[in-house]
Amino acid sequence: MTTAASQVTGDLPRHVAIIMDGNNRWAKARQLKPQDGHSRGAEVARKIVAACVDRNIPYLALFAFSSENWLRPQTEVRALMALFLKVLRRDEIIQLHAMGVRIRFIGNRSSFSKALQKGMLEVEKRTEANLKTTVFVAVDYGGRWDIAQAVSRLVAELPSESDIAGAITAANLHQYTSLAEAPDPDLCIRTGGERRLSNFLLWQLAYTELYFCDTYWPDFNEAELQLAIDDYASRQRRFGGQNACAHDCVKQQENTEVLADA
């Protein structure tokens, strides 16, 4: 375990979400190509995954490619796709596998090339039995898309005579969202200086603690991660109530809804 990891105090988040922003601006400031920033960003992502494993954080969600990123210049998009395929085939995946990392891709993967879809599936299968840390990599992902596809899947699986309006509850809908298998993120970090969610995990971040830093993602490191975790640990989470017990009430209500619909 690293020195920084051994100095963790307070409550650790069970699930950390990160909006990895600032690759382009980092590259521009150094008179480099956008793909140089993205390549450096991919290296940083691997190091941050390792840091989360060191800290026994069981879930990590990384915003790698949004639905809106398709609108970027085609030269940049092509470079991103080439980098994505390269990362899927690199030794880093083997290293993460050896560390006990389970990798899951969330988002509309049908929009990617057959080679990328195959690569994602192979990585998921290779790491599916790992239990240390589950890493959700969001690709062609948008929070609004996630909610819309959840509603569509929920309605599609209802018997024809069902009361659709009555069936669409928060608890039922949650089961069809991209992160249904994991607890909602406790902490969301955004790098790069912007103060917005940019359509990331809109459903799941309802009670999440938000942490914004000015550091561009390619310069983000384990020390910066620790600052975010320490800041999180210093906060009192009320979940809309007077104290953290309110969160238990919310979860109890959701569980009751599920049982009632069973």
Q: Are 138 and 64 in contact (CB under 8 A)?
A: yes
pLDDT digits (tens, 9 = 90+) for 129-187: 999 999 999 999 999 999 999 999 999 999 877 788 888 999 999 999 999 999 999 99
Q: Are 33 and 224 in contact (CB under 8 A)?
A: no
Q: Was domain 3-261 assigned CATH 3.40.1180.10?
A: yes
pLDDT digits (tens, 9 = 90+) for 26-40: 999 999 999 999 999
Dihedral (Cα; 4, 7, 11, 13), 10-degree rounding: 10
Give 241's pLDDT tier (boundaries 50, 70, 90). Answer: low
186 given a catalytic annotation: no
Burial of 91 per CB tally in 10 Å (0-12, 13-18, 19+): exposed
21 given a catalytic annotation: yes
Look at residue 179 in the predicted model and tell me its pLDDT: 98
Q: What is the pTM of this model?
A: 0.87
CA distance 256 to 262: 10
Look at residue 10 in the predicted model and tell me its pLDDT: 53
Among candidate residues 11, 54, 69, 199, the one labeled active-site is: 69
Left, alpha or beta for 193 (phi > 0: left; psi -120 to 50: alpha)?
A: left
CA distance 231 to 243: 18
